[in-house]
Amino acid sequence: MSVFEVKEEFLLDNKPVKILSGAIHYFRIVPEYWENCFYNLKAMGFNTVETYIPWNIHEPEEGVFDFSGNKDIARFVRLAQEMGLLVILRPTPFICAEWEFGGLPAWLLRYKGMKVRTNTPLFLEKVDAYYKELFSHIGGLQITKGGPVIMLQVENEYGSFGNDKEYLRAVKGIMVKYGAEVPLFTADGSWDAALEAGSLVEDGVLATANFGSRSNENLDALERFYERKGLKRPLMSMEFWDGWFNRWKEPIITRDAGDLAECIKELLPRASINLYMFIGGTNFGFYNGCSARGVTDLPQITSYNYDAVLTEWGQPTAKFYKLRDVIRELYPDIPTFDPKDHRRAAFPNAKLTGRVSLFSVADKLAECQTSTYPMTMEEAGPGYGYMLYRTHVKGFDNVMKVKAIQTSDRAHFYLNGKFQGVQYQHEIGNEIEMEFGQENVLELLVENMGRVNYGYKLQAPTQSKGIRTGVMVDIHFESGWEQYALPLDNVEQVDFSGEWKENTPSFYRYEFEAAEPADTFLDCSRLGKGVAFINGFHLGRYWSVGPVCYLYIPAPLMKAGKNEIILFETEGVTAETLELKDGPVYKETVE
């Protein structure tokens, strides 16, 4: 059984070791491709894999835990060990990671007065219950137990959020209570204030830094931090950013491979590294995060390609070869070899075989919940996806103004089944004039486009989605609401024999044949906005505003023979066929 220690250097079985790590998020990649990712990491000469552990996928409802499929963290870690890799785990309550709510579960928002990431009994009670379950899965994987896990993270970039050391100590204490034995660490920005606020070096917790350029300058700052504490510890960039994430309506961000290689070549003689990301993967389902801004937040796209060393679909990039050259130059004794790739292919167009309006099937997809005033998404359901609100309005054959108050994030308005308008963030609360008859049905479809994953808005009321206050008709709040929580985790129950109405949010079913599965890309360039499923698996969101106009379909999600694609399209766009291409599709200019 090996021993890993953090002293003046990292020691593995009493011998100095350089950690050459790459981030691979198990939850962003289908399990069938984990092995390929590990193989390519080793091919580049690296010896360690790192991953976050998002709380929200493992405890989707309070007290209900899920470690199956691409959530099977124990299987991921054991496979890494089989392939000769060490593992760094980051099971912090908050992960950021451009992930929905920074990995915090939406059900926390049902508790009035909940203050996340604080030394408060309510929040720590929930963390404790989660860690009790989580450590039953990961505790035995530590190197002290014969596993490959060498380090565990206490909190993530807490110095960019708070400076409550008692909170950090509380999280550490819970981890130790449930079996954390390997060295613990924190990760923060490399400037003085962030390191001081977010670290716990006085308690024996290693401080690491996150950055992606000016290697010596950032390492100098981390080294000076330790010197002020009278300590000498190994230096490590826990997130060396080799690319960046992307948001709707913004151009794709890229980084030159040569520039990256030079920055890493500068870093490695002084420090260990964790590349963020080695492969980014995909924000499947409704799990994309959102960047906090003043009035209008900026949701991230489904693709988490990140301009990483491997593409979203696992293809080695120029960065792979440049970094392999760096390893060969600095560490000629480390074995390196050629990487693997996946087969990609186009397939015959998927043909439309059914369509039905959401208004025709809502009762079959969700329980109708009634209340005097609108419920939030978290009150009515798991808090992800969409919420359909309905009320009956007495009219007087005249025009009245309608406005939704404190609603997140995007709302479609319908009166008697007819589209009246759509509002997004900064527009919500503006009046829409509608022509009412005597008896009327007013409906709103509200989409949660992703909770923020970083910054002060983690504590903001806007992270509660749906309608938080109410809807005004004329100058009064309407009462008497019906609502349907639509996380769309049951699309197989959509009844396509129901009525379809033009220009309403609708489900569309398509079929195509595949003689042999291969990676492919659903071309979304002719669609509006919505989500897609293949054979029941939720691929994620698409939106015509760009910058991407595709959804990546890994081969393991396909079948040899007939395959089914279901779209939930909210913009009234109908396509008779869908194209499946052998490469990604981008929007030339974003709106």
Total count of residues recorded for the chain: 591
Give the span between the Cα atoms of 217 and 192, in whole angstroms.
Answer: 13
Give the span between the Cα atoms of 383 and 86, in whole angstroms.
Answer: 36
Cα-based angle 264, 270, 275 (whole degrees, multiple of 5): 35
The dihedral sign for the CA sequence 584, 585, 587, 588: positive
- Residue 451, CA distances (Å) to 282, 288, 374, 463 in order: 17, 8, 20, 6
Q: Phi, psi at residue 475, to the nearest 5°?
A: -125, 25
Residue 8 catalytic? no
Dihedral of the CA atoms 123, 129, 134, 137 (nearest 10)? 170
Strands 506-514 and 398-408: unpaired
305 contact partners, CB below 8 Å, separation of at least 6: 243, 246, 280, 311, 312
68 contact partners, CB below 8 Å, separation of at least 6: none
Q: Smallest Cα–Cα separation from 370: which of 380, 361, 360, 357? A: 380
Residue-by-residue DSSP string for 327-391: HHHH-TTS---------B--EEEEEEEEEEEHHHHHHHHS--EEESSPPBHHHHSSS-SEEEEEE
Share in percent of the chain as helix, strand, coil (round to 5): 25, 35, 40
Give the span between the Cα atoms of 309 and 378, in whole angstroms.
Answer: 37
End-to-end CA distance of the chain: 56
Residue 447 catalytic? no
548 contact partners, CB below 8 Å, separation of at least 6: 246, 252, 301, 302, 303, 584, 585, 586, 587
Dihedral of the CA atoms 370, 372, 374, 375 (nearest 10)? -60
Task: Find out whether 150 and 4 touch, Cβ atoms under 8 Å.
Answer: yes
**Coil vs helix vs strand at 61:** strand
8 contact partners, CB below 8 Å, separation of at least 6: 232, 233, 234
Q: One of 59, 239, 379, 447 is an active-site residue; which one?
A: 239
Q: One of 98, 100, 157, 569 is an active-site residue; which one?
A: 157
Give the span between the Cα atoms of 220 and 270, in whole angstroms.
Answer: 10
Active-site positions read 157, 239
